[in-house]
Amino acid sequence: MAYKSFEEYNMKITDDVKSRYEDIIKDLGEDTTRDGLVKTPERAAKAMQFLTQGYDQDPVEILKEAMFKESYNEMVIVKDIELYSLCEHHILPFFGKAHIAYIPNGQIVGLSKLPRIVDVFARRLQVQERLTEQILDCINDTLKPQGVAVVIEASHMCMMMRGVQKQNSITTTSGFRGQFEKIETRNEFLKLIGK
């Protein structure tokens, strides 16, 4: 499936995950029958389905739905795209922003599709490095532009609230293909996104 707003839940999966959350909460020493926790296992099961809905979406189809022939051949940038994902190592959130640029090669893509691609890949269990590369490769392989650049800046709760507990650390990852491998093009992009 391409992109759709996620509002329906698979009840079989919901019931199964709900049961597991119930067991986890009990194992942690909590009473799942107390008022504040009665509905928590079901809400957590639905939240997890929402946060991992990217597995059921096809980012290539999302791009293909809105590709248009156009002679424009200068840099196109969509910056400050909010992203929220789950670290696959601890299943804790990481969040931040992505900056994407591409140089068309006879085709452009609807601007809203770039943030949608970010969401599709972010709504999976992830590491930031792979997320950066998946976004980059999807745009590069599908749109076949002259070049693509992706920079992601994110804060990771696994570093902020546990482990080293560094609340002000930000992780930056980047990837470049085609024309963006040239230092002058890369520098123009980085200057335009304020880096």
On whether both 34 and 118 belong to a single domain, the answer is no
Do residues 135 and 118 make contact, with C-beta atoms less than 8 angstroms apart?
yes
Average pLDDT over residues 157-185: 93
Do residues 54 and 123 make contact, with C-beta atoms less than 8 angstroms apart?
yes
Pairwise CA distance, residues 35 & 24, whole Å: 17
Query: Which of 173, 58, 66, 64 is CA-nearest to residue 126?
Result: 173
Told to judge if 99 belongs to the known catalytic residues of this protein, a careful annotator would answer no
Residue positions counted in the chain = 195
On whether both 48 and 71 belong to a single domain, the answer is no
CATH of residue 29's domain is: 1.10.286.10
Token pair belonging to 103: 């140089």
31 Cβ contact list (under 8 Å, min separation 6) = 37
- 39-83 pLDDT, tens digit each: 999 999 999 999 999 999 999 999 999 999 999 999 999 999 999
Give the CA radius of gyration of the chain. 19
On whether both 185 and 92 belong to a single domain, the answer is yes
On whether both 71 and 21 belong to a single domain, the answer is no
- 19-34 pLDDT, tens digit each: 999 999 999 999 999 9
Is 15 part of any domain?
A: yes
Do residues 85 and 124 make contact, with C-beta atoms less than 8 angstroms apart?
yes
On whether both 150 and 79 belong to a single domain, the answer is yes
User: Was 158 annotated as part of a binding site?
Assistant: yes
Q: What's the predicted TM-score (pTM) here?
A: 0.91
Q: What confidence score (pLDDT) does residue 10 get?
A: 87
In DSSP notation, 168-188 reads: T--EEEEEEEEGGGSHHHHHH
Told to judge if 156 belongs to the known catalytic residues of this protein, a careful annotator would answer yes
Q: What confidence score (pLDDT) does residue 108 get?
A: 98
On whether both 110 and 16 belong to a single domain, the answer is no
Range of the domain at 115: 65-193
On whether both 110 and 168 belong to a single domain, the answer is yes
Q: What confidence score (pLDDT) does residue 109 get?
A: 98
Kindly name the residue from 128, 134, 153, 179 that is annotated as catalytic. 128
Is 6 part of any domain?
A: no
Average pLDDT over residues 106-123: 98
On whether both 168 and 139 belong to a single domain, the answer is yes
On whether both 112 and 43 belong to a single domain, the answer is no
CATH of residue 121's domain is: 3.30.1130.10
Chain-centre distance of CA 180, in angstroms?
22
Our separate counts of H helices and E strands in the chain read 7, 7
Told to judge if 87 belongs to the known catalytic residues of this protein, a careful annotator would answer yes
Number of domains in the chain: 2
Residue 149: is its pLDDT beyond 80? Answer: yes
Token pair belonging to 57: 């979406």
On whether both 69 and 26 belong to a single domain, the answer is no
Kindly name the residue from 61, 89, 167, 181 that is annotated as catalytic. 89
User: Was 138 annotated as part of a binding site?
Assistant: no
Told to judge if 128 belongs to the known catalytic residues of this protein, a careful annotator would answer yes
Average pLDDT over residues 99-110: 98
36 Cβ contact list (under 8 Å, min separation 6) = none
On whether both 29 and 80 belong to a single domain, the answer is no
On whether both 171 and 85 belong to a single domain, the answer is yes
Query: Which of 119, 84, 139, 95 is CA-nearest to residue 3?
Result: 119
